[in-house]
Structure 1
Amino acid sequence: MAMPTFKNAKIFLGTDQTHFASAMTINNGLVTWVGSSEEVTDEQAVDLQGRTVLPGLIDVHTHPKYIADALHGVACTPPNVNSIAEMQTALRHSVAFGKSDQTWIEGWGFDETKLAEHRTPTVDDLDKVSTTQPIFIYRSDCHSSVGNSKALELAGIDRDTPDPQGGFIGHFPDGRPNGYMKEVAATQLLIRVKSVQNYTADVQNMVNSSDHYLANGIVAIGEMMGRKQPDDSLRLYQDAVATGFKPKTAIYYVYDEVADNSELTPTFDDQLRVTGIKVFMDGSISGETAYNKRPYPDGRNGVAITSPAKLKRAVDYARAHKLQVAAHAMGDAAIQTVLDVTQGLDPWLADRPSIRIEHASILSNAMLDQLNHAKMNYALVTQPIFFFAEDESYRQFLSPAQFKLIYRDKSMLTTKARFALSSDAPCTPWAEPDSPFVNIYAAVTRKTANSDLVNPEEAITVPQAILAYTKWSAEIGGFKHNGQLMPGLAGDFVVLDRDIFTIPSDDIQNVKVQSTWIAGEKVSPN
């Protein structure tokens, strides 16, 4: 392997907020030297012409399988789709439209509060697109979905189909299924029948998504929806990696699918690892299913998917198998349950936090104090892109007091918990749901897509936001060779099209990756 040296760059080392270099050498895939361009004598050194360089970015909470589906599906999100009528038009322009009755038409990202009709699409709406091809559309939170009559037929769903545990099948007043599959357990009824028919396509879609990640500067990912059925996620990734999928991946299996499988054990390959289990404590704020202490305007408190007793069983399972627990908890009641069940337990992982609280969307001062006094070691993995894209929903469904407690990034940094930014893509209604720079923009400016300002006292600095996508994400996700550009670590880095450290803050969302390098070799653009 070549031993390239890079010079004339502004290299953010990822060690802390302030240290930079202007040159580095990579040998056999690892950084071997960092220093000053004045020290470079290699006439073949790559001149980066003053560009800003970051360690390869790490998205520790994303859904690559969903992203792979979305890339060949239809974006049903603002600013492109703003009504059910526009959604129908967009679906008719899908590359899948008009093909065989075995070909699914797929879409993603709708939020009924952003649609002109202010309601969820129904089976009848989708049947106006096609009744011969199955249609499946994810809601923006990726918890819920809508299917047409063909999709419901293939899944065996009729007026008598019982609700799965933790999920709800929507019905019209006359009892006929309306196509709305509320929460993950119900959505899985459609996903499973879709995946059974499309394993080869799933693998190819995963391979195709590799370029998408690399174009965004993402060299490592946390797969937060590992499945055993209908196909094992580890097998899917193994086949995708063998065919060209490049980002390093840590898989977290949904606990309900492995609870009775004593064979799920961690693996430690740098490229592809089984790392943890995922526990759903609640739903989403925009879907009014996040479990909150204070009720929504409809009088309900959301959905408590996992009881304290079941969470404790999941923690015991993870401890016995030396796995990390990633607990999806958006509402304050859900987060409180995680803290109350786990705060007094001994950590069982030494190399990374034993418990990850995913989203941590509503945090009170008392919860922050609880984190600081807990025996357990925690990580807080959060997504400012949610309030950026879903501001209207948050203001509609949360009280002013609750709204003041959302996505408290700066306050999270004052706790002893590890902190990371991530996308949860494609689970938010934005056309570029996993753009690191939209997420960083929201964390730094606290501005939203509709120009609202959200709790500006919780803004963090640009270097902190980048550390939350590099060093700190690596520490939380167990990517021990990534996150910093220092001797002995991976030569994975990104070159930006502008200097994110000095541009006006409003321009951060427009930053693009000029090139992505893995092990010292350029992989994007290829």
Structure 2
Amino acid sequence: MKVYLGMLLAVFVLIACTVEAADTPAKTADTIYTGGPILTMDDKQPKADAVAVKDGRIIAVGRLADLEKYKGTNTKEFDLNGRAMVPGFVDSHGHVVFGGLQALSANLLSPPDGKVTDIASLKSTLSQWAKDNADAVAATKMIIGFGYDNAQLKELRHPTREDLDEVSQDIPVLIVHQSGHLGVANSKALEMAGINKDSKAPAGGVIQRDDSGEPNGVLEEYAFFSVFVPLLGQLGDEGLVTFARAGSNLWAKFGYTTGQDGRSSEAAVKALKKAAADGDILIDVVAFPDVLEGRDFIKQSMSRDYVDNVRVGGCKLTIDGSPQGFTALRDRPYYDPVGKYPKGYKGYSAITQEQLQDAVNWCFEHGLQIIVHSNGEGASDMLIAAFKKAREKYGDPGNRPVLVHGQFQREDQVDSFKDLGVFQSVFPMHTFYWGDWHREHTVGPKAAENISPTGWIRKRGLMFGTHHDAPVAFPDSMRVLDATVNRRTRSGYILGPEQRVDVNTALKAMTIWPAWQHFEEDDKGSIEVGKLADFVVLSEDPTAVPSEKLADLKVLKTIKKDKVIFESKPGEPSARLRYAPFSNSPEAGHHVLDALVSGMSKD
């Protein structure tokens, strides 16, 4: 009886202490956010009237009347003026450093992100950029353009070296396909790279040729990188730091408070850290260096903690290429590929099954997270087989492996990834940018309906992340949201209506679920007490506007740890960020080369 009474007394004491703690004077908030709808992404409290913040973290969420006790003489009231606030967006997959390339190259994107619609407008855009940026061309000794897409050109073909020779015959000209998987070089660039009629393509690459067998300028995968990387090696030591700075600023412009540098490298991480130490990286950036090239660095550098907003999160591996460029590995022939392809062409893998298994095993053995680029069904078959063997050998090391893209999946593959505990970071933006192209040429009208199968994933009760893969596209968060909810192509066709999800689910795929993907769910992804004050202020409540208006929403402010790091200005265009030309320090060029051979987008 005495024991019972003692236990009862202890319970009463505990309750009394809890009540007392609740009734003790509240902390004085630095900022209270109120005046508009607040979407928390917290299922226990989906909406709130106000949020109180102290020292960069959330101390209270709820009704404004209940948060009055947190006000002090120095508390700032952040008036949303009727605008909506959501958690800061967490980048499920992108390339922050390579995204900076958009800051120094000619914009060859097609509408709505650019003005290139045919070969003529592509050439004129390149020529005008070279004229407007004569100092940069003189310093870097090249003309570079980013983002052309043969699927959107009137001619439905890639430009050739002859086309680019009309821009310049004396200066190397190189243009990068929007996928980042291929590009075109002019005659001078081919000459400098030593590519001629007798050249053999490297493993995992293709040199396209004309009828006489001469290279036509179009280079795929590793054949392209073998030209692109040495040319970019001329940019100098400061070039990569400028890439990092420009990319992180561009991410902030679209509401991302956490960015990813997928397929990074030791040099890219050092550039991020250098820019961060200088105070120029305002968002968090988590890097995933290439596991085929930087294992020692990954093992030594991997950390769950940020230092100056930068950390290494694990390993990146790439199996295949780009579906719209017909370099992704399918399990069946492409539907109607545009170009010279053999009958029954299925694409190809960039690595062997042995390389894949070795890399996956190494990451599992050391408990490291691995994120794997796999676009085609054939590539995902390779990945599933590798994960199965790793699980049999190492069990579950708690490393949360991630499938990146997984665009052409069979439904049985979704089941396999579920069974293997693989988180899917998918790419619904493809439905807008290349949905029509996929229906007509890559996979055909039936299979195209299930590209980026978010409906199948949710049907199985799984979380997922959505991404932009910038610089493949701008890191436009609202277009990501729109594509995930609507799946509307450029022509207006709804691609796979059964794969659509509701707005709240789509927002979770940009916030709390990718936060979990990165092992950061305790700090980010939702507006809850104890988490970082990472917020985005939007022009309207995305859950209250017609779904067809989602792409028109604007990011008005991006807030990192209670500090505004981006604020739109009235009438401000969707400007491309530009910085001073790179230094041309030859002794430092190898740093850029080393980084870009691993850090370039290959997605």
Q: TM-score, normalised by structure 1?
A: 0.92
Decide which of 409, 420, 423 is 1:379's aligned counterpart. Answer: 423
Which has more radius of gyration?
A: 2
Name the % identity: 25
Q: CA deviation at 1:101?
A: 6.2
Contact 1:500 1:508 in 2 (8 A): yes
**Counterpart for residue 17 of structure 2:** none
Q: CA deviation at 1:255?
A: 2.7
2:470 maps to 1:470: no
Decide which of 65, 74, 78 is 1:38's aligned counterpart. Answer: 65
Task: Give the length in aligned residue pairs.
Answer: 515
2:103 maps to 1:71: yes
What does residue range 92-107 of structure 1 map to in structure 2 within 5 Å?
92-94=127-129, 95-97=132-134, 99-100=137-138, 102-107=140-145
**Counterpart for residue 438 of structure 1:** 479
**Counterpart for residue 384 of structure 2:** 339
CA–CA separation in structure 1 for the residues paired with 2:376 and 2:555: 34
Distance 1:263 1:493, change over 3 A: closer
**Counterpart for residue 529 of structure 2:** 487
**Counterpart for residue 352 of structure 2:** 307
Decide which of 51, 57, 65 is 1:24's aligned counterpart. Answer: 51
2:544 maps to 1:502: yes
Contact 1:100 1:133 in 2 (8 A): no
Distance 1:309 1:457, change over 3 A: same
Bigger mean CA offset, 12-21 vs 391-400: 12-21
Distance 1:349 1:20, change over 3 A: farther
Q: TM-score, normalised by structure 2?
A: 0.80
CA–CA separation in structure 2 for the residues paired with 1:192 and 1:274: 26
**Counterpart for residue 113 of structure 1:** 151
CA–CA separation in structure 2 for the residues paired with 1:260 and 1:308: 22
Bigger mean CA offset, 489-498 vs 477-486: 477-486
Q: CA deviation at 1:106?
A: 2.1
**Counterpart for residue 434 of structure 2:** 390
CA–CA separation in structure 1 for the residues paired with 2:493 and 2:385: 34
CA–CA separation in structure 2 for the residues paired with 1:506 and 1:454: 14
Contact 1:164 1:186 in 2 (8 A): no
CA–CA separation in structure 1 for the residues paired with 2:530 and 2:432: 37
Distance 1:416 1:281, change over 3 A: farther
Contact 2:367 2:397 in 1 (8 A): yes
**Counterpart for residue 363 of structure 2:** 318
Q: CA deviation at 1:220?
A: 0.7
Distance 1:100 1:276, change over 3 A: same
Contact 1:57 1:470 in 2 (8 A): yes
Q: CA deviation at 1:259?
A: 5.4
Contact 1:382 1:420 in 2 (8 A): yes
CA–CA separation in structure 2 for the residues paired with 1:179 and 1:65: 26
**Counterpart for residue 254 of structure 1:** 290
2:286 maps to 1:242: no
Q: CA deviation at 1:105?
A: 2.4
Q: CA deviation at 1:347?
A: 5.2
**Gapped regions of structure 1 (runs ≥ 5):** none
**Counterpart for residue 502 of structure 2:** 461
Higher RCO (CA 8 Å, separation ≥ 6 residues): 2
CA–CA separation in structure 2 for the residues paired with 1:245 and 1:149: 38
CA–CA separation in structure 1 for the residues paired with 2:515 and 2:223: 30
Contact 2:428 2:484 in 1 (8 A): yes
Higher helix proportion: 2
Decide which of 362, 369, 372 is 1:327's aligned counterpart. Answer: 372
Decide which of 407, 411, 420 is 1:365's aligned counterpart. Answer: 411
CA–CA separation in structure 1 for the residues paired with 2:77 and 2:273: 35
Q: CA deviation at 1:40?
A: 3.7
Distance 1:225 1:97, change over 3 A: farther
2:252 maps to 1:211: no
**Counterpart for residue 356 of structure 1:** 402
Q: CA deviation at 1:324?
A: 1.4
